[in-house]
Structure 1
Amino acid sequence: MSELLIEPADAAVAPTLPTRRLDGALVWLMALTCGLVVANIYYNQPLLAAIGRTFHLSDSSASLVATATQIGYTLGMLFVVPLGDMLERKRLMLFMLLGAAACLGLAAFAPSFALLAIASILIGICSAVPQLLLPMAAHLAPEADRGRIVGRIMSGLLIGILASRTVSGYVGAHLGWRAMFEIAAGLMLALLGLLAWRLPQDRPNFAGTYGALMKSLLTLTATLPALRRSALVGGLLFAAFSVFWTTLAFFLEGPAYHYGSDVAGFFGVIGAVGALAAPLAGKAADTRGPDFAIGVGILLALAAYVFMGLTSYHLAGLVLGVILLDVGVQSAHISNQTKIFSLVPEARSRLNTVYMTGYFTGGSIGSVTGGLAWTHGGWAGVCVLGAAFASAAYLVSRFYGREPAAEQAH
């Protein structure tokens, strides 16, 4: 069956061997790069209220900054990441880091909200570097160490997502929101120098045209119901996740708590429990199957919103809700990736492109609808919307595209 899913151009590709063995320092540099670059997408979330005050915007309008960044990341996933199979990956990543630095600088000095929104889209596009770095690490790693190395780099990605909110919340509270973008631009330039020095070259393994490469994404999506289901479930769960993180700063700065952006950012540290769930989710996927782990993750996310809807006006209830939500979403995400990577091993980069495009499309929808839910329904509206996304994910995981015999054939 897999032969039908690979474009003819792939047949002309000669396998390439790793140009060098990955040493420990290089693996940690890759993990650091993933964490720092993916953080660019999330720095703005604790700063939304401050950005709104600068440009005299409503909360729902200010939340469009988060939406714009996630839309940009989705575009980068869909149209740039597949180029990693055609172009030399190191050169492509260095070019993207330079673009990220320039766009972060533009955001830092943006004189208008419109220019900030445009810069945010471009920041998202240029911050798709981790989705190029992970396949590169898998290619360069010895087969016996591949899982361990990719897992370590993924831990950097998760920590970057979580720590970014804490750092930006603190910087925003003490130096202003523009300072965070300035600091991030400097970090991208520093990474550019480090990667230019230490990162090995990684020759492309696709000899076809860009059109053939993009067409193969459609072929994979159309032929694999399990891939479509995972992309839908992942997108719906990330929508539920984004609903919460887009509106949290507004809730904490409101009459219930009167906290600043530093406290909103500190909730990223609380959410680090979700990163600790990653190896547990992988173990559950290995022993009980990925569908079991995905189902548990969805139910935890749904329980988080039910719990926060009832108890989040007490700080302990909000903290416990954050932990449940992050553990649930991260567990389902890692189990979804475990599932799709087993479908067509020779097309893992493109499988990941399809899945992650669906994932961040859901995140963008969650951000914009979360802002609307907050404006029109307050915190209760946010919790209802988040629970609705999690419920939809459960229904899709149980009933959409179930073809056990066909999937086993893959």
Structure 2
Amino acid sequence: MELKRSDVLLMAFCTGLIVANIYYCQPLVILVAREFNLTESYAGRITYLTQAGYALGLFLIVPLGDMFERRRQILLITAIAIAALLLTALAHTFLLLQVASVLIGASSIIPQLILPMAANLSSNEKRGQTIGVIMSGLLIGILASRALSGSVGYLWGWRTMYFIAAGICSLLLLLMAKRFPQSRPAFNGSYKALMLSMWHYIKTQPVLREASIINFLAFAILSGFWTTMVLFLANPPFGFQSLQIGLFGIAGAAGAMAAPLVGKLSTGKNPRKNLLTGLILQLISIAAFYFTGSHLYLFVAGIILIDIGQQAIHVTNQTRIYALVPEARNRLNTIFMSVSFVGASVGSAFGLWLWEKGQWPLFCLGTALVVGLNILIYNFYSHKLKT
């Protein structure tokens, strides 16, 4: 069956609301630190533990989409996500909160089951655009989640946000059960054979390797920024509360609007050009962050640019890998997104380390070097792939 426009929008809607589970914690770090009497940087562990859980879920669970019926898998994992969110809301020790954070990450991989489903049901001509629309939903969910959790945390406490998230996922569970199409798995072997087959694709698909490495570093930069900016804005000269910090996520939503356009461009003759554009935008955004000082207009401009740059990199790479081996899209997506979110987790930890060593100036210089490394990798593969 061919996806209707309403089906694509529904998938984008569900994708955005579910992926938000991973990012609610970021503006709430300050509140968590106060409740458990921890330093803000130590409480920030929940940010990269959530992302590490997501990477774990990507690696162990998402490949099963090539082996089992995706709709049933999506519904089961959504139910697990609801339980993880409730556990977080009820956690009364920081250790339990850290465990619950990993579980939230591992059970929030549903967007990475929805995307291959949508790719399979889209024509070659519309696949990039479909992925772009769903990625818009995903990015808007990521960015709006910070504004929502910052506001809810400020008004009613951080635990309330997780109770609300559990309610949202419960409604989505009913909606997806009613509307999502069934799919036919393409892999008939064992789980072991399924997992081993991914190594074959890593060895034989240079486009997959390039896309994964570039995404690893791009996600590290973006995640490091969104984790560390909370500390930057909470300290002088700003001294913002979680409500005000969360609202900066709205600025990033402007970047998410670029995804459908990027999706169309990613089906052109040389989609790799989008990657260089995205990397340059990330570099410009870091320059804006470095010179922000007390000028928030530069900070907001940097947020918009870094998210547009991330869209250009991510949507282009995801469209490219989906075109490689259609019957193995879940496994290719597993490799690609697992590497990406390991990068996100590393980026959050790296950002916190840079902050502790030299605060905001060192963070900006450190991430600029990472972008430079990514540009070198892009140039290396430009010669290797002859594009």
TM-score (norm 1): 0.89
Following superposition, the deviation at residue 281 of structure 1 comes to 2.6
Which of residues 23, 28, 36 in structure 2 aligns to 1:55? 36
- Counterpart Cα distance in 1 of 2:124 and 2:359: 51
Which of residues 187, 199, 210 in structure 2 aligns to 1:229? 210
Residue 169 of structure 1 corresponds to 150
- Counterpart Cα distance in 1 of 2:120 and 2:244: 40
Residue 80 of structure 1 corresponds to 61
- Counterpart Cα distance in 1 of 2:11 and 2:260: 19
Following superposition, the deviation at residue 86 of structure 1 comes to 0.9
Residue 307 and residue 24 in structure 1: after superposition, are their counterparts in 2 closer, same or farther (change >3 A)?
closer
Deviates more, 1:192-201 or 1:372-381: 192-201
8 Å contact from structure 1 (residues 225, 402) kept in 2: no
Aligned residue runs from structure 1 range 265-276, under 5 A: 265-276=246-257
Residue 98 of structure 1 corresponds to 79
Which of residues 179, 183, 190 in structure 1 aligns to 2:160? 179
Residue 115 and residue 340 in structure 1: after superposition, are their counterparts in 2 closer, same or farther (change >3 A)?
same
| CA deviations over 1:282-312 (Å, ceiling 9, x no partner) | 3444456222110111111112112211224
1:301 aligns with 2:282: yes
Residue 110 and residue 291 in structure 1: after superposition, are their counterparts in 2 closer, same or farther (change >3 A)?
same
Which of residues 131, 134, 157 in structure 1 aligns to 2:138? 157
| CA deviations over 1:102-145 (Å, ceiling 9, x no partner) | 01011111111111111011111110001111222233446665
Following superposition, the deviation at residue 316 of structure 1 comes to 1.0
User: Which sections of structure 1, spanning at least 5 residues, go unmatched?
Assistant: 1-17
Residue 260 of structure 2 corresponds to 279
Residue 6 of structure 1 corresponds to none
- Counterpart Cα distance in 2 of 1:147 and 1:226: 16
Deviates more, 1:24-33 or 1:214-223: 24-33
Aligned residue runs from structure 1 range 6-405, under 5 A: 18=1, 22-141=3-122, 146-287=127-268, 289-400=270-381, 402-404=383-385
Residue 346 and residue 86 in structure 1: after superposition, are their counterparts in 2 closer, same or farther (change >3 A)?
closer
8 Å contact from structure 1 (residues 73, 360) kept in 2: yes
Higher CA-based Rg: 1
- Counterpart Cα distance in 1 of 2:253 and 2:285: 16
Residue 312 and residue 95 in structure 1: after superposition, are their counterparts in 2 closer, same or farther (change >3 A)?
farther
Deviates more, 1:143-152 or 1:71-80: 143-152
Residue 24 and residue 233 in structure 1: after superposition, are their counterparts in 2 closer, same or farther (change >3 A)?
closer
| CA deviations over 1:198-244 (Å, ceiling 9, x no partner) | 22322322101111111111111112222112111111011011111
- Counterpart Cα distance in 1 of 2:17 and 2:265: 29
- Counterpart Cα distance in 1 of 2:269 and 2:240: 42
SS at match of 1:272: helix
| CA deviations over 1:364-400 (Å, ceiling 9, x no partner) | 0001111111122111122122212211211111125
**What is the root-mean-square deviation of aligned Cα atoms in Å?**
2.0
- Counterpart Cα distance in 2 of 1:256 and 1:165: 21
- Counterpart Cα distance in 2 of 1:25 and 1:334: 21
- Counterpart Cα distance in 2 of 1:59 and 1:400: 40
Residue 212 and residue 333 in structure 1: after superposition, are their counterparts in 2 closer, same or farther (change >3 A)?
same
User: Which sections of structure 2, spanning at least 5 residues, go unmatched?
Assistant: none
Residue 53 and residue 28 in structure 1: after superposition, are their counterparts in 2 closer, same or farther (change >3 A)?
same
8 Å contact from structure 2 (residues 85, 104) kept in 1: yes
Instruction: State, as a whole percentage, how many aligned pairs show the same letter.
Output: 46
8 Å contact from structure 2 (residues 130, 263) kept in 1: no
Residue 7 of structure 1 corresponds to none
Following superposition, the deviation at residue 35 of structure 1 comes to 0.8
- Counterpart Cα distance in 1 of 2:358 and 2:87: 34
8 Å contact from structure 2 (residues 84, 100) kept in 1: yes
TM-score (norm 2): 0.94
Residue 160 and residue 76 in structure 1: after superposition, are their counterparts in 2 closer, same or farther (change >3 A)?
same
